[in-house]
Amino acid sequence: MSISVTFRPTANIEQYNEVMKQLEAAGMGKPAGRQLHVCSGAAERITIFEMWDSQAAFDAFGEYLMPILDAVEIDPGIPAIAPVNNVIP
């Protein structure tokens, strides 16, 4: 079952861009199991919304993401995770 994950990290757009750059360099810019990634909000405080194939796929990605967030000094906060019931493109 697909899940949605919403984060409100303590990050600005520059920090976000650095994380994306490091993920790409590590070969994790498009991780297996991630269906959608959206970054929105003001440059000073962003929101991340993602859809994943499963909790297991999301957890596996976290093993790559968390050390990068630590290095860039971002607290991801506690993600809101919920099952996906419907998607309308």
Domain spans of the chain, in order of start: 3-83
> How many of the other CB atoms lie within 10 Å of CB of 27?
9
1-28 tens-digit pLDDT: 999 999 999 999 999 999 999 999 999 9
> How many CA atoms lie less than 13 Å away from 24 in the CB half-sphere?
6
The Cα 46–Cα 20 span in angstroms is: 14
- Token digits of residue 47: 């929101």
Question: Using one digit for the tens of pLDDT, what is the confidence trace for 24-67?
Answer: 999 999 999 999 999 999 999 999 999 999 999 999 999 999 99
CB 77 within 8 A of CB 9: yes
Name the pTM for this structure: 0.93
Q: Are 8 and 76 in contact (CB under 8 A)?
A: no
Classify domain 3-83 by CATH number.
Answer: 3.30.70.100
**How far apart are the two ends of the chain, measured CA to CA in Å?**
18
